[in-house]
Structure 1
Amino acid sequence: MFFPQSIPEIILIKPRRFNDARGYFCETYRESSYREHGVTAAFVQDNHSLSDAPFVLRGLHFQIGASAQAKLIRCTRGAIFDVAVDLRQGSPTFGAHVTAELTEQNGHQLYVPTGFAHGFCTLTANCEVQYKVSTYYDPANDRGLAWDDPSIGIEWPLQGNPPILSGKDTTHPLLSDLPAYFQYDGA
């Protein structure tokens, strides 16, 4: 089942699980069905991350130019608080964000098209996240947005704990300091 979010280009997907005495079976991606519901990216690379502790915060990341990536994210062990921020200049939702809790129990996925920064915070220890991307990782076009930009106002569920960040993720600029990497096409 496909659910456009408050920014309609971002889609929450709730794959159907078939349960029996052995566990469950779930189809996690079918190109024709996803395309029919607005997930139009052609995915070329799968990524898998493990975060050992709760409150690991990865992001907010994006790539620019021909390397801009659409992503299809799911949490296969543990739970994450997933975030996408609209970076498309001229968009009616520029600077707005969408959040979703993705867990191994709910099996939900979040589709984030190009033109958005993406990040997540782990809610449990030993959290695994797997995601598909539409272009290959390109370090020359890798960019980021400050996870704690007050103009965006993301309420990260840190429960009073400091986030565990990479060195890179402590240096990203504020939204107001980003060049206009993406333009809203009006669609």
Structure 2
Amino acid sequence: MSLEIVELEIPDVKVVTPARFADARGYFTETYNRQRFLDAGISAEFVQDNQSLSVTKGTVRGLHFQAPPFAQAKLVRVLQGAIVDVAVDVRKGSPTFGKWVKAEISAEAGNQIYVPQGFLHGFATLEADTVVAYKVDNYYSKECDGSVLWNDPDLAIDWGIDLSAAMVSEKDASAVRFADFASPF
């Protein structure tokens, strides 16, 4: 089995598409194989799987991060529906600090996105009843949990949805502005 790897404009963020083998019954795919990911330059050792259901199209989750020592790399895939996935580089000294990249990830395409540590992460659902699953390489810590305002005009992220109709949590709606964010990375 093989992986198709596409580096985005920030090359550390990658879209990974595993091969699918289809027949009249449907398809089979190997969504994660440690050795194949290592061969592709993704060395994160995943320790936890997470899953979310977003009932409403236009739901935004993000921009989230876990600060060191509980920083997390993520491998995100969609089990049902579709999302626009966004990663913002917040690594101090990075030539792409404050820049963002996005990719459409969907159950139909079978693609995934790898977001390394040192990035803010979020997504917007493009369909109702979207189910997102993701692996992380560190455990959740409430004390290290943080977020930056998803619709901050300084970031000007194109979420691919009607921003005025976006559904967000209270936490995400009241997150700190990017200008006031002190990166721990």
Report the TM range for the smaller structure's normalisation: over 0.9
Secondary structure of the residue that 1:125 maps to in structure 2? coil
> Comparing 119-128 with 143-152, which one deviates more in the overlay?
143-152
1:163 pairs with 155, 166, 170, which one? 166
Question: Are 2:94 and 1:88 aligned?
Answer: no
Q: How many residues align?
A: 182
The one of 104, 129, 132 equivalent to 1:101 is 104
Rounded to whole Å, the distance in 2 between the matches of 1:8 and 1:157 is 21
Structure 1: state its 5+ residue gaps.
183-187
User: Alignment partner for residue 121 of structure 1, among 121, 124, 144?
Assistant: 124
Deviations 1:36-60 (A, max 9, x none): 1121110000001001110110000
CA distance in 1, matches of 2:94, 2:19: 32
TM-score, normalised via structure 2 length: 0.96
Deviations 1:130-169 (A, max 9, x none): 0000111111100011101112111122236421011100
Amino acid at match of 2:60: L
Report the equivalent of 2:46.
43
- C-alpha RMSD of matched pairs (Å): 1.0
Secondary structure, counterpart of 1:132 in structure 2? strand
Q: Is the 8 A contact 1:52 1:126 kept in 2?
A: yes
**1:185 aligned residue:** none
How do 1:170-185 and structure 2 match up within 5 A? 170-182=173-185
Q: What letter corresponds to residue 180 of structure 1 in structure 2?
A: S
SS in 2 for 1:67: coil
Instruction: Measure the CA separation in 1 of the matches of 2:40 and 2:175.
Output: 33
Matched residues in 2 for 1:34 and 1:165: separation? 33
CA distance in 2, matches of 1:155, 1:2: 23
Following the alignment from structure 1 to structure 2, what is the Cα–Cα distance between the partners of residues 160 and 145? 16
SS of residue in 2 equivalent to 1:107 = coil
User: Does the 8 Å contact 1:55/1:161 carry over to 2?
Assistant: no
**Which of the residues 53, 57, 61 maps onto 1:58?**
61
